[in-house]
Amino acid sequence: MSSTVGAADRLRAAIRDIPDFPKPGIIFKDITPILGDPTLFSAAIELFVERYRPQRIRKVAAMESRGFIFGAPLAAGIGAGFVPLRKHGKLPHTTLAESFTLEYGAETLEIHTDAIHPGERVLVIDDLLATGGTAAAAVKLVEKTGGEVIEIAFLVELAFLRGRERLGDIPTFAIVRFD
Active site residue 46: no
State the Cα–Cα distance between residues 2 and 158, nearest whole angstrom. 23
State the Cα–Cα distance between residues 147 and 140, nearest whole angstrom. 10
State the Cα–Cα distance between residues 101 and 137, nearest whole angstrom. 9
Active site residue 12: no
State the Cα–Cα distance between residues 12 and 168, nearest whole angstrom. 26
Residue pair 110/138 in contact (Cβ under 8 Å)? The answer is no
Pick from 40, 29, 34: nearest CA to 6: 40
The single residue of 16, 56, 103, 165 carrying the catalytic annotation is 103
What are the residues facing 19 on neighbouring strands? 27
The single residue of 10, 12, 66, 166 carrying the catalytic annotation is 66
Q: Give catalytic residues, as residue numbers.
A: 66, 103
